[in-house]
């Protein structure tokens, strides 16, 4: 962590440690436009700030809920284009929300099946 200009700044290694993403993944996400261009210090080293950390956190949310790389890129590009793209972002996030709800419902059904089987097995012991 680097303190300065009233903001906490993070090295790529610290960001990797805090997020669980590899340094390679962070560089890849930046290269692919999933992350905005990361600021650099006078030596050309990436310097992440709190805004970058929030962006990464939401990116992880999208990834962990099954959004594919192309959709993540699209969402990032739309966000960087400004407020006029909010309707498109809402559409993209609504589709993701629907996929998540379908996954949750499927998991609940699977959980019910497992619970039923456990009940049957517990009756025999």
Give the domain CATH number at 35.
Answer: 1.10.1660.10
pLDDT at 8: 86
Count Cβ neighbours within 10 Å for each residue of 49-86 and write b for 16 or more, e otherwise.
beebbebbeebeebbeeebeeeebebbbebbeeeeebe
Q: What is the pLDDT along the chain (125 residues), one digit of tens a residue?
A: 655 554 789 999 999 999 999 999 999 999 999 999 999 999 999 999 999 999 999 999 999 999 999 999 999 999 999 999 999 999 999 999 999 999 999 999 999 999 999 999 998 87
- HSE toward the beta carbon, residue 52, CA cutoff 13 A: 26
Q: Give yes or no for a contact between 73 and 33, defined as CB atoms under 8 angstroms apart.
A: yes
What does the radius of gyration of the chain's CA atoms come to, in whole angstroms? 20
Tokens read off for 68 = 């594919």
The pLDDT of residue 124 is 81
User: Domain of 53?
Assistant: 2-123
pTM: 0.84
Structural domain total, the chain: 1
């Amino acid at each position: 962590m680097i303190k300065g200009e009233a903001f906490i700044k993070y090295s790529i290694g610290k960001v990797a440690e805090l997020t669980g993403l590899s340094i390679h993944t962070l560089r890849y996400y930046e290269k692919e436009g999933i992350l905005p261009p990361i600021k650099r210090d006078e030596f050309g080293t990436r310097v992440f700030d709190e805004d970058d950390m929030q962006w990464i956190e939401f990116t992880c949310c999208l990834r962990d809920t099954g959004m594919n790389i192309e959709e993540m890129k699209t969402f990032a590009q739309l966000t960087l284009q400004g407020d006029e793209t909010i309707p498109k972002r809402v559409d993209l996030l609504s589709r993701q929300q629907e996929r998540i709800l379908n996954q949750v419902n499927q998991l609940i059904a699977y959980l019910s099946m497992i619970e039923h089987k456990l009940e049957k097995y517990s009756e025999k012991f």
